[in-house]
Amino acid sequence: MDEHYLEHLNETPEDSFLESLRVYGAELKVPLIQKDGLDFLILLLKLSRAKRVLEIGSAIGYAAIAIAKFTEASVVGIEIDDRLANIAQENCREIGLSERVQIIHDDALKVDPKTLGAFDAIFIDAAKSQYIHYFVQYADCLKTGGFFVSDNLLFRGHVEAPETIISRNRRQLVGKIKNYNTWLKENPGFYTRFYEVGDGIAVSVKL
């Protein structure tokens, strides 16, 4: 019996440019959204017909480029790291998507959200310890009915099984992720649901 029968049906032909970015991300040791997480995100953006998406933490532009390629949305990405922001911009130019993907090279916690305009969806994928701060800072940029997608809420399984963590820093980080998950669940301004897709994803719809 093929336990992953339905998952295999989802498999799409490889996109060579995105595959090359995935390989490059691994070489640079930059974590990128997992493939099934990206599929899920793209499905949500297509269903909602999102036109403008904000990505907090763009790294080399992998998810931003995939969103622009496979949905009708344009993307504003914020990336704090000099080298990665430059690579992301270069990748967008190379694939001819600079018009639809704008990479802001800055610390997302220092950008004034009022300068960015309104978004249909906001993808949070930067420093895991700061998720609450990104959420609060950018909540006013999200249209009513729009949604946040937060990635890495299982943090490679450590959140479900904290006994697997050896380092103190990691334990603290897992504590912060758990706090964020509870905070999301109890946030009355949003309808949040959690999914065991990719590295653990929450979708929070603005009420």
Interface ranges with ligand SAM (CB under 6 A): 30-33, 55, 57-59, 62-63, 78-81, 84, 107-109, 125-127
Distance in Å, CB of 59 to ligand SAM, minimum = 4
| Residue 119: strand, helix, or coil | strand
Q: In this structure, are strands 101-105 and 190-195 parallel, antiparallel, or unpaired?
A: unpaired
Strand order from edge to edge, sheet including 190-195: 101-105, 74-79, 52-56, 119-124, 142-150, 201-206, 190-195
Distance in Å, CB of 3 to ligand SAM, minimum = 27
Q: Give the residue with the Cβ less far from ligand SAM, 126 or 203.
A: 126
Distance in Å, CB of 57 to ligand SAM, minimum = 3
Distance in Å, CB of 47 to ligand SAM, minimum = 20
Q: Give the residue with the Cβ less far from ligand SAM, 48 or 86.
A: 86
Q: In this structure, are strands 201-206 and 190-195 parallel, antiparallel, or unpaired?
A: antiparallel
Residue nearest to ligand SAM (CB): 57
For residue 167 the two structure tokens come to: 């380092």
Q: Give the residue with the Cβ less far from ligand SAM, 39 or 125.
A: 125
Q: Give the residue with the Cβ less far from ligand SAM, 146 or 198.
A: 198
DSSP class of 139: G
Separation of CA 5 from chain center? 27
| Whole-angstrom distance, CA of residue 45 vs CA of residue 32 | 18
Q: Give the residue with the Cβ less far from ligand SAM, 136 or 207.
A: 136
